[in-house]
Structure 1
Amino acid sequence: MDYGRVEEDWSHKLLAPSPSADGATFRPAGISAQGARTAARQMRTALELLEARMQTIEAQRLCPLDLHALAPVPQKILALGPDHPESLAWLWANWGTTWPVRHVEEITDQESPGSSAEGQASLALRFVAADWTPWRIIAAVRERWPELEFSLAVLPLVE
């Protein structure tokens, strides 16, 4: 998106005459050229921030190991907050870990400790988990999609 062009268009629209109810045109009272530029700049900034937030939300939604997408946390549990004992108990019972996996990234074949059979597609991910691995959700995914194969390896944290 060309934010500069959007800002300029908004400035012009704020300064342009508007039709009145009787068909005549009038210019809104009280807005100067500087005021129109300032308002347009503020709208541009708001649009840029909104778009950045939406990209962040989209990136989070596209996480390749989104435990919430695989086993959604009920709204009742979410409302309790992440440190509430009931929340922790639900996460442990359903995910096998007490917080979402973090720093999920795809790793290349050279970095991956496992290998797939010839002709099989594979995906290797590196992530950080709170309590070992999210073993309960992996068990649930294995049960739901038995044709998928999983290989887990504990790797040292790289600093």
Structure 2
Amino acid sequence: MTENLRLPWAELPPATARDADAPVPGNRRAAGRRGRRPLSAWPKPAGPAPWQYWHLLVYGPDAVMDTFGAEMAGPGLIPWSFDAERVEEDMFALAIGHDGPARGRAGLSVEGCRILARQFRAAAEARHARLTLRTDGDCPLDFHQLVPVPAHILALGATHPDARAWLHRHWGIAEAPRQVTYLPGRKAGRRLPRGHRAVVYGFFTRGGEPMPVVRRAEEHYPPLTFRLSERSLG
């Protein structure tokens, strides 16, 4: 039921342990109120994979570098299909849980769970609308431009096991990289011939290594050299 559920705040970094145990905003019942199981007592899902920071060095002839830069720029996101009604249904099922029809997971009534699901749907719709406006080339290294996700995979949704398997196979990661930036002033680490230049991109990923995308770039732009290196976050 909840396999396609994606939280509107899924783009945020993992919460700290203190934040994870905080009461839900708007819930007037104290988390530790007598007679109620504290929200923090519910089993927590496994935490997200840690973030990894990468540098991708690209160098080669100026003309090919110009072509690469123009073709790789994009919005920097995966255009997943969006079903607002399904999001609301999944959130309601998640809120009502397995405690029976009288009360949901957080002690909410059935009507309270429905209100929560509608509010969640509105937040998800707002997030989706915000993302679809990003159609320009703000991201200088858009993985979807180089290795497009097929329409039948996009229709599955971001959290579907088959969609994640496709991304792991073709991208090496299961979501678009974050905070992709061009790092000016970085060098290739060697003297380049006249008419050649180097560019370095920095970006974050988690849950894998984006080597499949780098290999595709090597096949598509044979005059260019690509060097991917993991960088310390310290």
C-alpha deviation, 1:62, in angstroms? 4.1
Q: Could you state the TM-score of these two structures normalised by the residue count of structure 2? A: 0.39
| Bigger fraction of residues in helix | 1
Pairwise CA RMSD: 2.5
Deviations 1:97-129 (A, max 9, x none): 1111110011133xx474353332111011001
User: In structure 1, what is the equivalent of residue 203 of structure 2?
Assistant: 127
Amino acid at match of 1:115: G
Q: Deviations over 1:28-51 (max 9, x none)?
A: xxxxxxxxxxxxxxxxxxxxxxxx
Equivalence map 1:2-151=2 (5 Å):
57-59=134-136, 61-109=137-185, 112=186, 114-118=188-192, 119=194, 120-151=196-227
Letter of the 1:123 partner, please give it.
V
Structure 1 position 58, deviation (Å) = 3.5
Which structure carries more relative contact order (alpha carbon 8 Å, separation 6+)? Answer: 2
What is the rounded CA distance, in whole Å, between the counterparts of 2:216 and 2:156 in structure 1?
A: 24
Structure with greater strand percent: 2
SS state at 1:104 partner: strand
- TM-score, scaled relative to structure 1: 0.56
**Aligned CA distance change for structure 1 residues 56 and 106 (closer, same or farther; 3 Å):** farther
Stretches (4+) displaced over 6 A: none
What is the rounded CA distance, in whole Å, between the counterparts of 1:132 and 1:154 in structure 2? 11
Q: Which residue of 1 aligns with 2:32?
A: none
Larger radius of gyration: 1
Query: Given the superposition, is the C-alpha separation of residues 123 and 86 from structure 1 closer, same or farther in structure 2, using an over 3 Å criterion?
Result: same
**Separation of aligned partners in 1, 2:209 and 2:153:** 21
Letter matched to residue 102 of structure 1: R
Q: Following TM superposition, by how much is the alpha carbon of 1:89 offset from its aligned partner in structure 2, in angstroms?
A: 0.6
- Do the aligned partners of 1:96 and 1:133 also contact (CA within 8 Å) in 2? yes
Identity across the alignment (%):
31
Partner of 1:27: none
Please tell me whether the aligned partners of residues 116 and 122 of structure 1 are also in contact (alpha carbons under 8 angstroms). no
- Find the aligned partners of 1:132 and 1:80 in 2 and give their Cα distance: 21
